[in-house]
Amino acid sequence: MMAEKKKCRTQERIGVYPGSFDPLTNGHLDVIRRASKLFDKLIVGVLVNDSKKNPLFTMEERVALIKKATAGIPNVEVGSFKGLLVDFVKENNAVAIVKGLRAVSDYEYELQMAALNRHIDSDIDTIFLMADIQNSFLSSSVVKELAWHGGNIDGLVPDEIKEDIVRSINRLRSGSSES
């Protein structure tokens, strides 16, 4: 019994924060900062979401942007995956999935996903972190829409990646006006 307890204390506690992060917002970054305090290592898992068409950034670009924005958080790593989240969690020896919640509608969906993931692997827990009230309206879709129409995205996205987002939107906007 004592040997088991000692083993648990020395085992690295790893969490996974999954999402498409297209683009990363200050709401995402807030969850990353807070979750990084709960784990020895937090892996931000950038997923290929086939249901989301026309991404602003490629998978590789999203990973690079998140690395840039989280460079000052020493226990955060960024990876990418396609397929089941549970498989990515197991491959990384993680013990929990971290999900940020903005509203009741997020909770209803995320509760279903947490139950499904728990059904698939009962050793994996899901931790919900409520969005800071200043970020409760914030989503990647809102940021893209605002930027597309020339709105100011200051304070909505990490300063380190703001220009990357504006540049990508401008590139898309100029490409769509040619067609």
Answer CATH for 2-178 from 3.40.50.620, 3.40.50.12780, 3.40.50.300, 3.20.20.20 = 3.40.50.620
Residues in Cβ contact with 129 at an 8 Å cutoff, skipping those fewer than 6 apart: 31, 34, 35, 98, 99, 100, 101
Q: Report the relative pairing of strands 125-130 and 96-101 from DSSP bridges.
A: parallel
**Residue 102 annotated to the active site:** yes
**Residue in 68, 90, 102, 118 annotated catalytic:** 102
What stretches in the chain show pLDDT beneath 70?
A: 1-10, 50-52, 176-179
- What 3-state class would DSSP assign to 99? strand
Q: What is the pLDDT of residue 11?
A: 86
pLDDT tens for each residue of 93-125: 999 999 999 988 889 999 999 999 999 999 999
**Residue 149 annotated to the active site:** no
Q: Kindly report the pTM of this predicted structure.
A: 0.89
Q: Which of 159, 135, 161, 162 is nearest to 151 (CA)?
A: 162
What does the mean pLDDT of the chain come to? 90
Domain boundaries, the chain: 2-178
**Residue 140 annotated to the active site:** yes
**Residue in 52, 82, 171, 173 annotated catalytic:** 52
